[in-house]
């Protein structure tokens, strides 16, 4: 096993300053319907970074732009104030509950829920409430009802508005399924699914009937912890993966496991129930995780696959959908847990990274080339009419794809807005940012009304 210095070089390197810029320059025309903030989160090590440090453990920084009336009002980037950040910057410690040994780092995703802007992370850190201007306010535990780890990947049921998450912690030999109320006031359901070890569980998905619990052979390793590894989760050889189908109204005894070949999946795309009782989901599949490189995901290119889970047999049909690298899958979240026609992924080849639009019904894949030296981060689909009924799939892609794009030739960043129905075409607008945005993890469009 070794470490990679990838995660401190180029656009992985942290940016030193917190910046506020107003009235950003724009090429093209920002759609008048867009009113909200495009936010994203990622590591930005406050100490500049240790070459051996794990990419996943750097102090978090949230970047955002505010769009309304066809204008880009502002760009801001702010640290999520953990103990390491408050110590380094001489700022007050962030108030709020803690779980375990977490120093308050929340570096993986940022979501809007029930009027709150929350920076979130897995494995022990509590959600961190941010202001609309991205200043850290406090850690939250949903009024005392979150008594352990949360997750960086809540799935919002488009009908109920509830958040569904899978959580883990190195002291737990189970995977915890949680539901948070639509109004964000409380955890309303908790199911501990025993597995007998402590796996890294990055994400979850749901269908209309079930939560899908991801259990892959990358697990807590006590020897690595004792040796001082920052994130002591390592690949376990010769173990399959599996997906647990937990009925939404069920208990741990109701879980039906479907085995998959050894692999690791950070991110499913979407999932839905098939008429015959099986479940279809698309995933970004890594052949392994933290097997040879232990400070970041570097076990070969991830592939986009379709999995058909059969709870009757406990087996999974696995089909590769493309031979190129794909990660950070997203879709129209009005159709979360229901059959969606389109999925969106990003590729990454050195400094360049195209975007892909997948027609999940025909298999067709469109490519958006962001240009020489330009690499997109995770793409977010923003519907033109968020209130359109989710049963109307005829215009599922009527909206925009928004993403932060790094330009290695100028070491700058833009937010690029594509017409999702003209995915390969020229952007409808490009918002030019005052500094680069390091390669990070996840973000979302947070409409002003939510
Ligand atoms: Fe993720």
Angle, vertex CA 371, rays to CA 397 and CA 44, nearest 5:
85
Reading the block at residue 320, the tokens are 């590769």
What's the average model confidence in pLDDT over 36-59? 91
Question: What is the rounded average pLDDT of the residues 161-181?
Answer: 98
Has residue 15 got a pLDDT over 70? Answer: yes
Report pLDDT for 443.
Answer: 97
Spacing, Cα 23 to ligand 1 middle (Å):
31
Is the per-residue pLDDT at 390 higher than 70?
Answer: no
pLDDT > 60? residue 450: no
Instruction: Report pLDDT for 48.
Output: 81
Mean pLDDT, residues 210-239? 96
* Span from the CA of 15 to the centroid of ligand 1 (angstroms): 21
**29 CA → ligand 1 middle, Å:** 31
C-alpha of residue 250 to centroid of ligand 1, in Å? 26
Taking 80 as the threshold, does the pLDDT of residue 392 lie above it?
A: no
State the pLDDT at residue 7.
Answer: 87
Q: So where are the chain's domains?
A: 6-447
**How many angstroms is it from 344 CA to the middle of ligand 1?**
15
Tell me the mean pLDDT in the region 106-131.
Answer: 98
Which pLDDT score is estimated for 26?
A: 98
The rounded Å distance from CA 201 to ligand 1 centre is 10
Contact assessment for residue 222 and residue 236, using Cβ atoms and an 8 Å cutoff: no
* Cα 440 to ligand 1 centroid, rounded to whole Å: 10
Centre of ligand 1 to C-alpha 110, Å, is 11
Q: What is the mean pLDDT of residues 14-41?
A: 98
pLDDT of residue 124: 94
Q: How confident is the model at residue 49 (pLDDT cuts 50, 70, 90)?
A: confident
For 184-221, how does the pLDDT look when each residue is reduced to its tens digit (9 = 90+)? Answer: 999 999 999 999 999 999 999 999 999 999 999 999 99
217 C-alpha to center of ligand 1: Å?
17
Helix, strand, coil shares of the chain, percent, nearest 5, are 5, 40, 50
Distance 203 CA to ligand 1 centre (A): 7
Instruction: Report how far ligand 1's centroid is from the alpha carbon of 56 (Å).
Output: 10
The pLDDT, as a whole number, for residue 352 is: 83
Residue 200 Cα to ligand 1 midpoint, Å, equals 12
Q: Residue 391: is its pLDDT beyond 70? A: no
- Cα 321 to Cα 306: distance, rounded to the nearest angstrom: 7
- Give 195 Cα–ligand 1 centroid separation in angstroms: 22
Average pLDDT, integer, range 38-48: 95
pLDDT digits (tens, 9 = 90+) for 69-107: 999 999 999 999 999 999 999 999 999 999 999 999 999
Cα-flanking dihedrals φ and ψ of residue 3, to 5°?
A: -120, 160
Of 199-213, 275-289, 346-360, 434-448, minimum mean pLDDT range: 346-360
Q: Residues 342-357: what's their mean pLDDT?
A: 90
User: 27 C-alpha vs ligand 1 centroid, how far in Å?
Assistant: 30
Ligand 1 centroid – CA 327 distance (Å) = 9
pTM, rounded to two decimals: 0.97
Stretch 400-421: mean pLDDT, rounded?
97
CA of 40 to the centre of ligand 1 (A): 12
Supply φ then ψ for residue 115, to 5 degrees.
85, -5
- Provide mean pLDDT across the span 31-35: 97
Alpha-carbon distance of 315 to 291, in angstroms, equals: 25
Among 2-11, 184-193, 244-253, 325-334, the range scoring the smallest mean pLDDT is 2-11
Kindly tell me if the per-residue pLDDT of 393 is higher than 70: no
Domain 6-447 superfamily per CATH: TolB, C-terminal domain (2.120.10.30)
**pLDDT tens by residue, 359-372:** 999 999 999 999 99
Does 41 or 350 have the greater pLDDT score?
41
Exposure on the CB side of residue 388, measured as CA atoms within 13 A? 18
- Cα of 268 from ligand 1 centre, angstroms: 9
* pLDDT at res. 50: 80
Find out whether 383 and 448 touch, Cβ atoms under 8 Å: no
Rounded to the nearest angstrom, the distance between the alpha carbon of 174 and the centre of ligand 1 is 20
Does pLDDT of 304 surpass 90? yes
Distance from residue 266's CA to the centre of ligand 1 (Å): 6
Mean pLDDT taken over the chain: 95
Q: How far is the CA of 28 from the centre of ligand 1 (A)?
A: 31
pLDDT band at 174 (very low <50, low <70, confident <90, very high): very high
Calculate how far, in angstroms, residue 285's C-alpha sits from the geometric centre of ligand 1: 13
| DSSP sequence for 6-70 | GGGSGGGSPP----EEES--EEE---TT--EEEEEEEE--TT---TTS-GGGSPEEEEEEEEETT
Whether 136 and 80 have beta carbons less than 8 Å apart is answered as: yes
Give residue 4's pLDDT.
80
Ligand 1 centroid to 151 CA: how many Å?
9
């Amino acid at each position: 096993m070794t470490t990679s210095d990838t995660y401190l070089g180029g656009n992985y390197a942290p940016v030193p300053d917190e910046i506020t810029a107003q009235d950003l320059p724009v090429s093209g025309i920002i759609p008048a319907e867009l009113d909200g903030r495009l936010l994203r989160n990622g590591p930005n090590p406050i100490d500049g970074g240790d070459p051996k440090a794990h990419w996943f453990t750097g102090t978090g920084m949230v970047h955002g732009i505010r769009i309304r009336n066809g204008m880009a009002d502002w760009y801001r980037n702010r640290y999520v104030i953990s103990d390491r950040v408050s110590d380094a910057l001489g700022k007050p410690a962030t108030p709020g509950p803690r779980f375990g040994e977490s120093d308050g780092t929340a570096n993986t995703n940022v979501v809007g829920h029930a009027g709150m802007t929350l920076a979130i992370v897995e494995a022990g850190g509590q959600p961190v409430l941010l202001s609309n201007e991205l200043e850290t306010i406090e850690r939250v535990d949903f009024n005392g009802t979150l008594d352990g780890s949360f997750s960086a990947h809540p799935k919002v049921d488009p009908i109920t508005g509830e958040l569904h998450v899978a959580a883990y912690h190195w002291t737990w030999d189970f995977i915890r399924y949680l539901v948070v109320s639509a109004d964000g006031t409380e955890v309303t359901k908790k199911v501990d699914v025993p597995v007998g070890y402590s796996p890294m569980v990055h994400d979850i998905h749901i269908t209309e009937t079930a939560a899908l619990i991801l259990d892959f052979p990358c697990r807590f390793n006590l020897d690595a912890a004792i040796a001082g590894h920052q994130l002591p989760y390592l690949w376990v050889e010769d173990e399959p993966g599996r997906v647990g189908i937990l009925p939404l109204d069920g208990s741990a005894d109701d879980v039906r496991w479907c085995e998959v070949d050894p692999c690791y999946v950070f991110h499913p795309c979407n999932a839905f129930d098939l008429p015959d009782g099986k479940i279809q989901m698309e995933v970004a599949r890594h052949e392994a995780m933290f097997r040879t490189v232990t400070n970041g995901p570097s076990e070969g290119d991830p592939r986009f696959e379709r999995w058909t889970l059969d709870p009757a047999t406990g087996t999974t049909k696995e089909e590769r959908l493309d031979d190129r690298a794909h990660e950070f899958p997203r879709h129209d979240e009005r159709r979360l847990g229901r059959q969606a026609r389109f999925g969106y992924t990003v590729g990454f080849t050195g400094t360049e990274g195209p975007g892909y639009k997948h027609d999940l019904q025909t298999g067709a894949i469109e490519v958006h080339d962001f240009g020489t030296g330009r690499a997109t981060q995770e793409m977010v689909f923003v519907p033109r009419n968020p209130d359109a009924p989710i049963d109307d799939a005829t215009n599922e892609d009527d909206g925009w794809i928004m993403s932060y794009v790094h330009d290695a030739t100028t070491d700058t960043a833009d937010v690029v807005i594509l017409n999702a129905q003209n995915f390969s075409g020229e952007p409808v607008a490009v918002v030019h940012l005052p500094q680069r945005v390091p390669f990070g993890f996840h973000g979302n469009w947070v409409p002003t009304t939510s």
